[in-house]
Amino acid sequence: MSRDHGRLEKDLSDLRGRFADDLRGRIDDIIKAMGSLRGQTGKAFRGGVEALRRDVCELAGAGASFGYSQVSVVAREVESACDAVLARRDPPEEQDLARLYRLSGCLREAGEMSQGGSGDETADIENSLDHCPTLKVRQNALIVMEAEGDGIEQLRLEMEHFGFDVHVVEHPSLLEAELARVGPMDVLVSGLDFRGDKSAALNVLADLRARGVELPPLVIHTEHDDMQSRLGAVRAGAVAYMLKPVDMPDLVDQLEAVTREGEQEPYRILIIDDDEALARHTELVLTATGMEVMALSDPMEVLKALDDFSPELILLDLYMPECSGREIATIIRQRQEFAGIPVVFLSGEDDKDKQLEAMKMGGDDFLTKPIRASHLISAVRIRAERFRQLRALMVRDGMTGLFNHTTTKQLLANELSRSHRSGAEMALVALDIDHFKNVNDTYGHAVGDRVIKGLSRLMRQRLRGTDILGRMGGEEFAAILPDTGMVEAAHLFDQLRQAFSDIVFHAASGETFSVTVSCGVAAYPRYATVTDLSDAADKALYAAKHGGRNMVVRADSGH
């Protein structure tokens, strides 16, 4: 959980207190609106009743959300009375109006007598965490257990090139002490043969498990391919068994699969609700489970929020004074890059016809306030995960998992627009693998594919989660680095260039080889348009290629 129980309950309690302070004023405004209907006729009267209905609909959802159930019950009665009035084509009957005015006194009484909810909601949130994936930042920390001189130093260096924090253990007898010293690890990579004893590692691992020592996932890395060794590894709990020599990109791929299981980046959720207390309440519920949430109370700021936050799901209130949720949904769908983002209405409106009408304007679902915290968390998680999966199929390169050419260009335009507004620097790096045709011709396309995936994984390991990585085609790549200047980007990619040149690849024939990469760097604000920025990075890459390859060239200096 991203916040402790006490802090979450305090925040929710503070929100209940703020709602209680504002409740009398909200009820007074509704009663005044009822009173203003007297003497009105025609369109003015119907417009007043419709506005009243929207207000009590929102109060019904808000009241129950903060534990004021009686307020919610009476507000629903007022809503029903408004529906009865609006259903008549002729002037309203006196009995309908009398019911409406009678309910005003009930609403005031409910507000004065009601008490807010307790901390049960906190327990509901915590109970829902069992059904949520773990949302955390990976440590990329591992223990390598190999006999001294068995290529352990080369293995450590190559893993560090990919961004892993590597701890070396040269004999199984030292493993327990190392685990106690360094704390939890993401994975254990172990050989089998220590001083001629193939059972040493497996025996130690079995003993540690029997004594209840917590061990990280085990990946066996060995030259032994016999059934007995594989069976022993399985019984020791190994999740993978890899034969030496292993291409480092293949090993990293396996390590990523092990450490990625049950983990993922936080879902990004945008809340648009003019009721700040309700928006804050929803934000607290979702952030408690590790989601990244932006709450927006001014719907007129929605386009800027979409560009800056790039949400994976939008929770949208239906009734807002400046513009309605239906109108906001329509505007969102007019932007092609946001047309696929799930839009879920979260409103006190319980009329199914009105809900369907709203969804016709661009909504994907409708959740009615009040909604249990655990139900809200599950509904948001399911829809955000589905969007993430579908988007990956549409915008990612199948081989590398990086963004494809079209998506990278669009994201570059988005990031440049954001830099224009914020004034922050932004760097673009164009990369190209040197002499890649020779790799394919000499070792085959399957080996060439491993080289491409190796560079992709290296960039993902070395760069930040906010950086954007794309495969532009073949052996060409691009990296978009927000809040990064040209000199900093050039320095970063010079380190990456060196790390890539140190990686050893293995051909089917047993031959080993290394590959280099050339890079061109350009940055905003020196290059202020997408065309200028892209051209400058390409020209710098061209200069690196013709300057001898295996280098990084900056567009501002040619160095």
What is the per-residue pLDDT across 257-276, written as a single tens digit (0 to 9) for each? 777 654 567 899 999 998 88
pLDDT of 91: 65
Across the chain, mean pLDDT equals: 83
> What's the mean pLDDT in 123-141?
54
Q: At residue 19, does pLDDT exceed 90?
A: no
Please give the residue that has the higher pLDDT: either 543 or 349. 543
- Going from the N-terminus, what domains does the chain have, and what CATH number goes with each? 17-117 (1.20.120), 141-263 (3.40.50.2300), 268-395 (3.40.50.2300), 405-554 (3.30.70.270)
Give the range among 23-32, 131-140, 317-326, 544-553 with minimum mean pLDDT: 131-140
Residue pair 317/275 in contact (Cβ under 8 Å)? The answer is yes
Rounded alpha-carbon distances, angstroms, from residue 95 to 33, 74, 84, 153: 18, 18, 10, 89
pLDDT of 89: 66
* Per-residue confidence band for 92, with pLDDT thresholds at 50, 70 and 90: low
Instruction: Give per-residue pLDDT as tens, 29-74.
Output: 888 888 888 777 778 888 888 888 888 888 887 877 777 788 888 8
Q: At residue 135, does pLDDT exceed 50?
A: no
> What's the mean pLDDT in 336-351?
84
Q: At residue 508, does pLDDT exceed 90?
A: no
DSSP H helices, 401-485, are 405-422, 436-443, 445-462
DSSP H helices, 264-311, are 276-287, 302-309
- Provide the whole-model pTM: 0.56
CA 313 – CA 381 distance, rounded (Å): 9
Residue pair 511/442 in contact (Cβ under 8 Å)? The answer is no
Q: At residue 132, does pLDDT exceed 70?
A: no
Q: At residue 136, does pLDDT exceed 50?
A: no
pLDDT of 483: 92
The pairing of strands 505-506 and 512-513 is antiparallel
> What's the mean pLDDT in 524-532?
92
**Most confident range, picked from 108-122, 234-248, 504-518:** 504-518
pLDDT of 498: 92
> What's the mean pLDDT in 343-365?
84
Q: At residue 130, does pLDDT exceed 80?
A: no
Instruction: Give per-residue pLDDT as tens, 140-171.
Output: 788 888 886 656 777 777 777 777 888 888 88
Please give the residue that has the higher pLDDT: either 321 or 189. 189
pLDDT of 117: 56
* Per-residue confidence band for 128, with pLDDT thresholds at 50, 70 and 90: low
CA 66 – CA 118 distance, rounded (Å): 9
Instruction: Give per-residue pLDDT as tens, 355-409.
Output: 888 888 778 888 888 788 888 898 999 898 888 878 777 788 878 888 999 889 9
**163 phi-psi bin (left φ>0, alpha ψ -120 to 50, beta other):** left
Please give the residue that has the higher pLDDT: either 310 or 91. 310
pLDDT of 1: 41
Please give the residue that has the higher pLDDT: either 490 or 112. 490
The pairing of strands 268-272 and 263-264 is unpaired
pLDDT of 78: 83
Instruction: Give per-residue pLDDT as tens, 426-456.
Output: 999 999 999 999 999 999 998 899 899 889 9
pLDDT of 277: 84
Residue pair 411/479 in contact (Cβ under 8 Å)? The answer is no
> What's the mean pLDDT in 279-299?
89
